[in-house]
């Protein structure tokens, strides 16, 4: 067998191993009004989505995509959209939790890249996005922060950090917090990539943010559909 064929065979076997390892990932979505309890509203193998009302918000839309729905190096992609167009003018604070559990690859000391984007944010509102790694594989646990961004207007940001997953399995969580001080709407999106201590090229960051922006637009359109 030639060297090139052996290399291709090893790459194929590695890809199959990673796919098999990620096949058991489960995505969870939780919602929290102000300082109340976190309520798990849905869960599913690989991906999950929720569309409905919660707390003081009459329209809430959340999507979560973990492996094997996503392809490595992407571990988790999510988006969230809220609308407060009736009821109390000050709807308070809504926090969305998106967790994907059961990752057994990749493992070890990795470079995590978190991308955040907001495409719709009513003036006076604030949206904060955060990402976390939990080597203990917990649900909605905020063990090791990977990145964070706070927006008061439409914008985007990319954070990178080195963190250790441990022996696995581990979980990844994204948290969106919307502070709604008036009637209005907001839509945000994010993603978490993991790679073995290699710095992505600037083009990779650009493509990552474009993808998040498209996801935001899809979620925003769904939220504004008549109920």
Delineate the domains of the chain, giving CATH numbers in brackets: 3-223 (2.60.120)
pLDDT of res. 197:
65
The rounded distance, in Å, linking the Cα atoms of 122 and 118 is 11
Q: Which of 6, 60, 15 is nearest to 188 (CA)?
A: 60
The pLDDT of residue 6: 46
- The answer to whether residues 168 and 125 touch, using CB atoms and an 8 Å cutoff, is no
**pLDDT, mean over the chain:** 84
Query: Is 50 exceeded by the pLDDT of residue 144?
Result: yes
> Which pLDDT score is estimated for 35?
96
Tell me the residue length of the chain. Answer: 227
Buried b / exposed e along 73-93 (16+ C-beta atoms within 10 A)? bbbbbbbbbbbbeeeeeebbb
Q: Is the pLDDT of residue 213 over 70?
A: no
The rounded percent of the chain whose pLDDT value lies above 90 is 70
pLDDT for 23 equals 47
- For position 214, what pLDDT does the model report? 53
pLDDT more than 70, % of the chain: 76
The answer, yes or no, to whether residue 202 has pLDDT greater than 80, is: no
pLDDT of residue 196: 82
Kindly report, residue by residue over 24-65, the tens digit of the pLDDT: 689 999 999 999 999 999 999 999 999 999 999 999 999 999
Distances (CA, A) of 217 to 15, 76, 141: 32, 18, 28
Q: Is the pTM of this model over 0.85?
A: no
Q: Mean pLDDT, to the nearest integer, of 162-168?
A: 96
pLDDT exceeds 60 at position 72: yes
Give yes or no for residue 15 having a pLDDT over 60: no
């Amino acid at each position: 067998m030639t060297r090139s064929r052996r290399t291709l065979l090893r790459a194929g076997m590695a890809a199959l191993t990673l796919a098999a390892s990620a096949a058991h990932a489960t995505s969870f979505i939780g919602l929290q009004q102000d300082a109340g309890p976190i309520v798990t509203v849905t869960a599913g193998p690989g991906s999950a989505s929720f569309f409905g009302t919660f707390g003081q918000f009459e329209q809430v839309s959340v999507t979560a995509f973990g492996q094997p729905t996503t392809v490595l190096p992407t571990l988790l992609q999510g988006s969230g959209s809220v609308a407060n167009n009736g009821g109390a003018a000050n709807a308070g604070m809504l926090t969305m939790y998106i967790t994907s559990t059961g990752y057994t690859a990749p493992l070890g000391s990795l470079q995590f890249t978190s991308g955040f984007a907001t495409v719709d944010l009513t003036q006076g509102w604030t949206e904060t996005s955060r990402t976390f790694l939990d080597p203990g594989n917990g649900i909605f646990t905020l063990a090791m922060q990977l990145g964070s961004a706070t927006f008061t207007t439409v914008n985007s940001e990319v954070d990178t950090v080195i963190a250790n997953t441990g022996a696995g399995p581990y979980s990844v969580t994204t948290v969106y917090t919307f502070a709604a001080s008036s009637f209005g709407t907001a839509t945000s999106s994010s993603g978490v990539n993991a790679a073995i201590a290699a710095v992505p090229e600037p083009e990779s960051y650009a493509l990552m943010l474009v993808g998040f922006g498209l996801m935001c637009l899809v979620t925003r359109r769904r939220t504004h559909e008549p109920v």
